């Protein structure tokens, strides 16, 4: 009897010694040599290429708003309250519309009821707009910033209303040799961008449609 009890005790000890609780835990996945981090992991030491902002302005338009759209299409695509397109003078086919939010700092210019140009410009009494072009240029950028972003494609010339000795300039970048689409920057005497126009040949217009 004593021998049977002793045998049973020895068997129990052997089973406990082989139980999973006494086995070493496997190292965590991230500590295993040669493992690949999950796709979401980003190495902060590696420079990342910024994605183009969906709401950045370029010669083709702004987000869902595209140059060449009808008035109704452009206003619907913008998706926020806007003032109705208004002619600068009676009988004119040139009409402008603005977002009702002055912080937007935008102006849509239509000719023959088609969107020809989008302008970024601070509204009188409003805050400085934060919208930028697809190359990262916004209001307040320096002339040097514009040159770095657009390079040798820029053509500089004195501002339309620059007085003698004034440093105000216009700088135009065309996307194509035929100069059908582009972006024009207006800088003040302080050398900083104060207006940005993007679209077709209408970017050359100084006041409304003239």
Give how far Cα 10 sits from Cα of 5, 21, 200, Å.
9, 19, 92
Cα angle for residues 42, 47, 53 (degrees, 5° grid): 90
* Domain assignment of residue 16, yes or no: no
Strand partners, 170: 157, 186
Q: Which stretches within the chain are classed as H helix?
A: 2-17, 71-78, 143-150
Q: Which tens digit of pLDDT belongs to each residue from 18-41?
A: 444 444 554 444 444 444 333 333
Q: Single out the residue of 91, 73, 111 nearest to residue 208, CA to CA.
A: 111
Structure-token pair, residue 93: 């086919």
- Specify whether the CB–CB gap between 60 and 67 falls below 8 A: yes
Decide: pTM greater than 0.75.
no
Q: Which tens digit of pLDDT belongs to each residue from 173-196?
A: 999 999 999 999 999 999 999 999
* Domain assignment of residue 124, yes or no: yes
Average pLDDT over residues 134-147: 97
Q: How many domains does the chain have?
A: 1
* Domain assignment of residue 69, yes or no: yes
Q: Which structural domain, as residue segments, surrounds residue 168?
A: 57-204
* Domain assignment of residue 196, yes or no: yes
Q: Which tens digit of pLDDT belongs to each residue from 61-84?
A: 999 999 999 999 999 999 999 999
């Amino acid at each position: 009897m004593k021998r049977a009890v002793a045998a049973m005790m020895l068997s129990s000890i052997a089973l406990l010694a082989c139980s999973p609780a006494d086995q070493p835990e496997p190292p965590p996945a991230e500590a295993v040599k040669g493992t690949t981090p999950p796709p979401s992991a980003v190495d902060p030491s590696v420079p990342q290429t910024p994605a183009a902002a969906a709401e950045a302005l370029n010669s083709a338009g702004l987000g869902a708003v595209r140059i060449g759209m009808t008035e109704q299409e452009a206003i619907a695509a913008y998706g926020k309250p806007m003032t109705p397109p208004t002619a600068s003078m009676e009988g004119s086919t040139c009409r402008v519309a603005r977002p009702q939010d002055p912080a937007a700092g935008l102006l849509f210019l239509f000719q023959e009821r088609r969107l020809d140009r989008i302008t970024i410009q601070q509204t009188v009494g409003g805050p400085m707009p934060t919208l930028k072009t697809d190359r990262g240029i916004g209001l307040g950028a320096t002339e040097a910033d514009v040159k770095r972003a657009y390079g040798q494609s820029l053509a500089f010339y004195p501002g339309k209303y620059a007085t003698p000795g004034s440093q105000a300039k216009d700088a135009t970048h065309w996307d194509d040799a035929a100069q059908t689409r582009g972006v024009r920057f207006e800088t003040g005497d302080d050398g900083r961008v104060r207006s940005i126009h993007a679209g077709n040949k209408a970017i050359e217009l100084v006041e409304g449609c003239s």
